[in-house]
Each structure stands twice: as C-alpha cells, then as structure tokens.
Amino acid sequence: MVHIVKEYDERKNEFLDTAMGLFMTQGYEQTSVAAIIQAVGVSKGAFYHYFKTKEDLLDQLSARATDQAMVAIHSILQDPALSAIERLNAIFTTTNAYKAENRDLVMTLLQVFYSDTNLILRYRLLEHNLQVLSPVIAEILHQGNAQGSMSVDYPEETAVFILRIGASLVEGIAKQLPLDPEDTEGVAGVLRHLNMYNQAVERIIGAEPGSLGLVDESIIRVVTGQS
Amino acid sequence: MVHIVKEYDERKNEFLDTAMGLFMTQGYEQTSVAAIIQAVGVSKGAFYHYFKTKEDLLDQLSARATDQAMVAIHSILQDPALSAIERLNAIFTTTNAYKAENRDLVMTLLQVFYSDTNLILRYRLLEHNLQVLSPVIAEILHQGNAQGSMSVDYPEETAVFILRIGASLVEGIAKQLPLDPEDTEGVAGVLRHLNMYNQAVERIIGAEPGSLGLVDESIIRVVTGQS
C-alpha cells in the first residue's frame, strides 16, 4: 500500500515538474496537454488519472508550491516566544531568504509570470496564495491587536489587503527585472518601492514606525544576483 | 477641414462604441476584428485606417474613457480654493458620482472585466489609468506634504500604490456583484472593505483619521441598484 502511494505521488510530481518546465519555457497558454503527456512519455489516460484539465494541473501546481512554503510558516506560528510583530517579520524574512536561496527559479518565475501571456497563471497563483496565507496573517493581526502592538479594525479584510498590495508591488518591480548590479539607479528604485511597502504596511496595521523589517538585503541579492 | 475632422472622429467613435458593445456582450477575447467590421457595416480598409490591431483599438478605447474622466478631474486640480485633502476627496467623490449615474454600464463593465476571459482587457485598462492618474495623485501628495496635512516619503511611488490597491479592492468586491439590496450581510461586507480602503489610504499618506471620505453612499447605490 505504501509502495503504491509512493508511486502515485512520484508520477504526479513528475507531471507537475514537467508541466512547470514547459510553462516556464513556452508559456502557460502555449503549452498543450498533449505536449505535457509527450514530454513525460506516458499514455493520455495516465494524465487524466491525475488531472481533469490543464487548469486543474495548474491549481495543483500552485497548491504544491504554497504547501512547501507553509511548512516553514507554520513553525513560526507555533513558536510561543514570538510576539505578533516578530511573527510578521519572521514570515517575511523566511520568504525572502527562500527567494534568495532559489534565485534562478524565482527570476525565471517572475519573468515568465509577469509576461502578458501568463496573466491567467499569475492570477490563479495569487488567488491560491491569498486563500492559504490570509488566515495566517489575520491571526497575527488579531494577536497584535490583543498585545497592543497593532491597531487593526478589520483584521480579515486587512490581511487579504496586505497580501494583494504585496503582489501589486512585486508586479511593479518585476517589470524592471533583471537588474544589472551596476545599475545603481535601478537598484535604488527597487529599494524605494520595497521601503514604501514596508512603511505602508506598518501604517496600515498601526504598528510603531520602524517596527517592521519586511525588506532585507536578501531581496537585493534576488533582483541583482549579487551574493 | 472642420467637416472632415468631424467625420473622422464620428466614424472612429462608431468603431469604438460598437467594439465596446461586442466586448461587453461576447467578451474581449471572443470578439474578432471581422465581427467589429461587420457590425459597423463598413469595409475592412476603414477599420485599418483607424486601428492597427484589435489591441490598438482597445488601447484607444481605454484612452477615450480615461480622457473623459480626466476633464472633471482637471477642473478640481485647477481650483485654487481646495486644499490637498479636499482635492483628493473631490477626485474620489467625482468618480463615485460618475459611477452611480452610469450604474448599468459600470455593473456590466465590472462583471465582464472581472471574468477570467477578460484578464488582459482589465490589465491594460489598469495600466493606462495608472499612467494617466498617478501624476495627478502624486502632485496632490506633494501639495499635502507642503501644507502639512500629509506625510509621504515617496509621493510618486505612493501615488501608483494607492491606485493599484484601489484596483485590488475593486477586484475583491467585483466578485461579489451584483448584490441584492436585501442581502444585508453582503452590503455590510462591501462597506467594510470600502471603509478599510479609506482608512488604509489615510494611514499610508499620514493624514488625520477621518479626514478622507473616499467612500460615500453613491457607491452603495452602484453595487445594490438602490436609488
């Protein structure tokens, strides 16, 4: 039984990895189910054993990526020593560090997702992330209200809002990528946007100025490739 | 000469109006250039006299809509009696009133633009609006800083940000439309989102709590059809 489950997951992950590779090189819209089946080298029936449609595969792909990130985030949430502010900072720091460590993948994703042909792919990923992450952020905002370090009248709506504006920010920045490390003006512009986001979130949740550090130098390593 | 220009504009507007009607009823992606030409009842050459492609027509369509709205906004900007806060409020009030007066059109646009098939259309309209409106908002933020009623470290970036998060907000709300006026919970939810946006903008620009009134009851008339 364990053996069968393992085989099931392995084949499914093989489909997901192959599809992701094709989406990144050819674009989501341009990749057919037939091309995915051909690249994996199995029968048509095998694909439809795992996925209803290409969109269903996409949903499962984004679910897998988010689930991986959520493992680290849940350990932050379960650390009783952290305050609400520390929790919020830790989630952003963990996410930033993950991006810095996987720079090539992140840069490829940014450039592919933010092309016009991949609007639907980007849109679905955002919606999925909102669903998974917003309850986590909302819980932290409630905690911050209780601890007196935040002042948020609508925690649930504000949580979705912070994530949506984060996505808006990334969208604005992604258009300027990749940045040459020598392009001092370009790097300064990205930093200005990131600092503005940090300050905006601080103000929206009513936290002390300077209490959030959502932006760290690992982000600059991502956008410039400096290490 | 005047006569020729008038004919040119009239025919162009006829193309734009017809295309808009088809986009609203059939969706942007599903509407071909051939269908637009057939609906106007002119030759293929006439279309290409005005537009390079369907996308070019779309760009001109969004430019026309924004230009119409900008006439009212420019008169607000040129009124020397208004403070920065009053200017920002007046721009939002004018836009809200326009939406309430054109409720049927706005509801159709919202429902069509926010369907997955019209992501590209929505995306282009947003980008166009950002380009036209963000310098206006940035100017007001600079003025607010000078008058001491606002405290904005990055006026240009913050202006784009306020508009992007406004679009994010509309996106969140559009999914719940149309609302039954009897659906008290739904109407309360929309109001909560709008009040949150108002407070978020107030905090982001460092304005006094309660100084902005970006949300008024005309918006509720739009989403529920109450009059």
Please check whether the domain covering B54-224 is classified as CATH 3.40.50.970: no
Q: Which residues of B touch A168 (CB under 8 A)?
A: 161, 164-165, 167-168
Q: What percent of chain A shows pLDDT beyond 70? A: 87
Q: What is the pLDDT of residues B76-114, one digit of tens each?
A: 888 889 999 999 999 888 877 777 776 766 776 676 666
Measured CB to CB, residues of chain B less than 8 Å from chain A are 116, 119-120, 123, 153-154, 157-158, 160-161, 164-165, 167-169, 171-172, 192-193, 195-197, 199-200, 203-204, 206
Check residue A95 and give its pLDDT: 78
Q: Where in chain B is the domain with CATH 1.10.357.10?
A: 54-224
Residue A84 vs residue A112, higher pLDDT: A84
Check residue B9 and give its pLDDT: 83
B192 vs B177: CA distance, rounded Å: 15
Name the residue in chain B with its Cα closest to that of A118.
B120
* Tokens (6 digits) for B76: 């607000």
Q: How many residues does chain B have?
A: 227
Report which listed range, A59-73, A169-183, B122-136, is most confident.
B122-136
* Tokens (6 digits) for B129: 């609006």
B176: DSSP letter: T
B98 vs B74: CA distance, rounded Å: 15
Q: Do B165 and A160 touch (CB under 8 A)?
A: no
Mean pLDDT of A144-169: 90
Q: Do A168 and B165 touch (CB under 8 A)?
A: yes
Q: Where in chain A is the domain with CATH 1.10.10?
A: 1-51
Greatest pairwise CA separation for chain A in angstroms: 59
Residue A116 has pLDDT above 70, yes or no: no
Q: Do A154 and B200 touch (CB under 8 A)?
A: no
Cα dist from A42 to A9, A30, B166, B224, whole Å: 15, 20, 47, 52
Q: Where in chain A is the domain with CATH 1.10.357.10?
A: 53-224
User: Which CATH number does A1-51 carry?
Assistant: 1.10.10
Q: Which band of pLDDT confidence, cut at 50, 70 and 90, is reported for residue A105?
A: low
Residue B215 has pLDDT above 50, yes or no: yes
Q: What is the pLDDT of residues A166-211, one digit of tens each?
A: 887 777 777 777 777 788 888 888 888 888 889 999 999 999 999 9
Classify the C-alpha dihedral A48-A52-A58-A63 as positive or negative: negative
Mean pLDDT of B131-147: 94
Please check whether the domain covering A53-224 is classified as CATH 1.10.357.10: yes
Our CA-based measurement puts residue A155 at a distance from the nearest CA of chain B, in whole angstroms, of: 10
